[in-house]
Chains A and B, each alone.
Chain A
Amino acid sequence: MTKINYKNIYYPPGGILMWLIIFLELITFGIALIALVINSKENSDLFHQSRLILNPSFGAINTVFLLTSGFFMATTVHQFKLNNVKKSSFYLKLTMLGGFMFLILKSVEYFIKLKEGFSIDYNSFFTFYWLLTGFHVIHVMVGLTILFVINKSLKKGSLSVEDIEASAAFWHMCDLIWLLLFPILYLIF
């Protein structure tokens, strides 16, 4: 296994292209969240009442699912670097399980909100809620697809450290985005 010099500016863990994507995503979600906070100043009562409609328990449990999944992803990479392919594959499956649990709980939350009539056009808070969490869910789905493909390659033995690190970086990016969304949508208004 080749040793990567992470101190080189062109080789951050996960690769330079993945980190450029991570920063672009963080900036995009960041701007949208700042727009949401600015909007909340004009309709503070509406945002407070709307925030109370959301269930913070769903948000907190989903955060725990993603954080635990991220922990298993970090362990997957570590085991892969130690050449423990079987253990690496096992932890990768646990990572994917965390992602699936997140999506299941998110679907339940979406179902409840739609049933109660809080759809995307209910008010400006829910427009932001549906757009931001919806785009995040798409990222989680893409991440899970990447992890599924990576798991197949892992079993075949056709995977490099760079591949698994880039996939891990994408998966952790979903955690980072969620850590921006969770406090602002579920907690601060």
Chain B
Amino acid sequence: MRKKDIITLVLLISATLFTAALSVNSDDLKYLVFVILIASGIKFSLIAFQFMELKKAHTFWKTALICFLVIFFGVVSIIVFY
């Protein structure tokens, strides 16, 4: 097992439990939504770049994935806030 993969898994699980706890224990979710979406975006990138080894790929694929992430979470955030 690679050390980086283990660290990634620990970060992923911690972020999942943190966002779930945040959602359950908060009455006003309006601003926490932003934190939850950012945490989800980070988790998404960790899987793609570390587990799927996209970090080794051509810049085109890395850029395409980041563009998808920014557009998706950006659109969701805008709709939720306005």
A: residues with CB less than 8 A from B are 6-9, 12-14, 19, 23, 26-27, 30, 33-34, 37-38, 41, 56-57, 59-60, 63-64, 67-68, 70-71, 73-75, 77-78, 168-169, 172, 175-176, 179-180, 182-184, 186-189
| Interface of chain A: mostly helix, strand, loop or mixed | helix
Question: Main secondary structure on chain B at its contact with chain A?
Answer: helix
Number of A-B contacts (CB under 8 A): 121
A56-B20, A168-B52, A179-B40 are known contacts. Are A68 and B9 too (CB-CB below 8 A)? yes
- Chain A residues with CB under 8 Å of B1's CB are 75, 78
Chain B, interface size category, equals 35 or more
Q: Is the CB of A64 within 8 A of B44?
A: no
* New A-B contacts (6) at CB < 8 Å, excluding given A56-B20, A71-B9, A186-B23: A13-B52, A23-B64, A34-B79, A56-B24, A67-B16, A71-B6
- CA separation between A158 and B13, bound complex, in Å? 35
**Bound: A183/B76 CA distance, A:** 11
Known contacts A7-B58, A14-B52, A67-B13: does B76 contact A184 (CB below 8 Å)? Answer: yes
Q: Which of A19, A23, A60, A74 contacts B51 (CB 8 A)?
A: A74
Which residues on the A side are within 8 Å of B47 (C-beta)? 67, 70, 172, 175-176, 179
* CB <8 Å contact, A188 and B33: yes
Nearest opposing residue in chain B for A59, CB measure: B20
